[in-house]
Chains A and B, each alone.
Chain A
Amino acid sequence: MSMELQLIDIIFFSDKRKNLLLLLKEGPKTIEEIKIGLDVSSSPIMAQIRILLKEGLLVQKGDSYELSIKGKLIVPKMEPLLSTFQVFDENHDYWARQDLRTLPPHLLDRIGELGSCKELLPDRTHIFDYPPEIMDPLYRSRTVMEVSSFFRPGYPSLYLDLAKRGIDVSLVLERPIYEKLVSDYRADTEEFLNLENTRLFVCDHKIELASSIVTDRFISLSLISKEGRYYNHEMVSFEERALVWGQELFNYYEDLSEQVIELKSN
């Protein structure tokens, strides 16, 4: 085995060692803190500590253990790799089917931040609606931001309803969707715009992904398949880091868009 694979074996192929390295990335820890942090007993973890000391990934300073210089160069590369692999592993077929290039490259590189995701599919009877698993958190959110390149029949009424309940609602719509909204639902759109807590943006660039909703409670992503097909689904994550990721995704499209203050008179 090459030295490289041997080191990879050391850092990845034992959960105890892997978790210990990730724990020590936060800073030096005593054996007591390690036991509590990893919920393990002394002797099994000591065996792993000795292996890591021998490989030069850890050093002992007084009572505590910390990453060596070598460890400090290697360990930061583990986390993005593991989180990316985890996201793909949990929904392998989904990510393999979708066109990932529809995501902005800097956010695709950080796809691991989505954490644990779940794919939600609508009921047969409510094929155009959001599944109940996200309707509930949607109504309990303080802010709702959506980027969309396709039209859902529920749009004007759902977002108007959320806004009337005092939720801050921001929408970025691709130009054709915006035009459709204005021509088919002019009164609702005007009412939406007149509320204090709403913002509407129109985007003249192609929004490559189907849609993304991010609130202070969850993020939901809908992508388009490699063949350009779309089916109604929501890939949802409730993790803290995923919300930050989703916020950045919204900001990315917001920066490409123009805010609509009022509708032009016909």
Chain B
Amino acid sequence: MQQELIDVVFRSQKRKDLLLLLGEEPRTMEEIKTLLDVSPTAILPQIKRLTDSDLVIQKNGSYELTDMGEQVFKKVQSLVNVLTLLERDNYWIEHDLSGIPQYLLDKIGDLKDCKLVEADPSQIFEPSTELLNFFSSSSYLMVFSSFYRPEFLPIYTKLGRMESEVTLIFTESVLEKILHNYERKIRKLATMKNAELFVCNDGVKLAELMVSDRGMMISLFDSNGRFYHNYMSCSEPEALNWARELFEFYKSRAWQIESEKCIDNFVCTVESGAFPESMVLSLH
């Protein structure tokens, strides 16, 4: 009589870890010992349980998942990633996730390795040097921002000159403010051939999102719309893919400022003076 898979997988931490490990790639006994930090006597009975349940098979000296094991692994991983994400940081349950479409919420476990970066209180309104450095050399850069951060404008132009692909999405209010204060710079950006500028409506439930080939960062508002100057950041490939998909989602709902003519015709639909000061990160 076969034991139920739920017991096979979850009644032992070692078996669950082993399944997740072999889901990455086949491993030899030596590798399993090192990676899980276990002795052969401790792990062998667990390997046997997994092979007896047809989830794992031994081939050419290493252990690998069977077709069935692969399916079981996928379902376990998708659950465990979310549990890990929630266990590592309360950021996600303390912030408003409504700006994230359902199909990406379903994959939010891809962000499990994100780390919270908190602003230094002494320079909360100054350019975040960490972020600047992080993004100042990449082959592409995607930025969504509902904040006015003029200190970033030189980076965008610099990357543009270095032939990196730069894609920017600003909310209407932010674009208006930039136009007001840095018209020349933004006009230059809008006409660079490897830079694209988009505008979206105000009121989106996403504070900031940046993705480059070096990493991603995302910041959200809390459920009352407050912003705490902290963000989640990660360099794992799954997180980068996730962030790029979110960026594409917002890009598909924004309109492009393709030429100087678009800038001439740009009218902010938000009443002047309604620009929420709370959204101004850097006050110039």
Contact = CB atoms under 8 A, between A and B. Distances in A.
Interface string B72-91: 10111011101111110000
B97 A69 contact: yes
Contact of A5 (B5, B10, B74, B76): B10
B134 interface: no
Interface string B57-85: 00000000011100110111011101111
Interface in A119-165: none
The number of chain A residues touching the other chain, given as a range, is 35 or more
A73 B74 contact: no
B105 to A, nearest CB: 7
A247 interface: no
Given A84-B71, A88-B5, A69 B106 contact: no
A100 interface: yes
Contacts of B83: 4, 7-8, 74
A84 B10 contact: no
Contacts of A256: none
A144 B195 CA distance: 54
A99 B67 contact: yes
Contacts of B72: 84-85, 88
Interface string A1-24: 111110111001100000000000
Contact of B54 (A78, A96, A108): A96
A206 interface: no
B55 to A, nearest CB: 9
B78 A80 contact: yes
A82 B4 CA distance: 11
Contact of B75 (A2, A84, A98): A84
Q: Which secondary structure dominates where chain A touches chain B? A: helix
A226 B74 CA distance: 20
A77 interface: yes
A77 B78 contact: yes
A101 B10 CA distance: 25
B23 to A, nearest CB: 14
Interface centre among B13, B86, B97 (most CB of A within 10 A): B86
A252 interface: no
Contact of A88 (B68, B74, B80): B68
Given A1-B13, A4-B87, A73 B105 contact: yes
Contacts of B84: 4
Contacts of A78: 79
A95 B86 CA distance: 33
B228 interface: no
The 4 closest A-B pairs by CB, nearest first: A96-B54, A100-B67, A81-B75, A77-B79
Given A13-B10, A69-B92, 5 more contacts: A5-B10, A73-B92, A81-B75, A85-B75, A98-B67
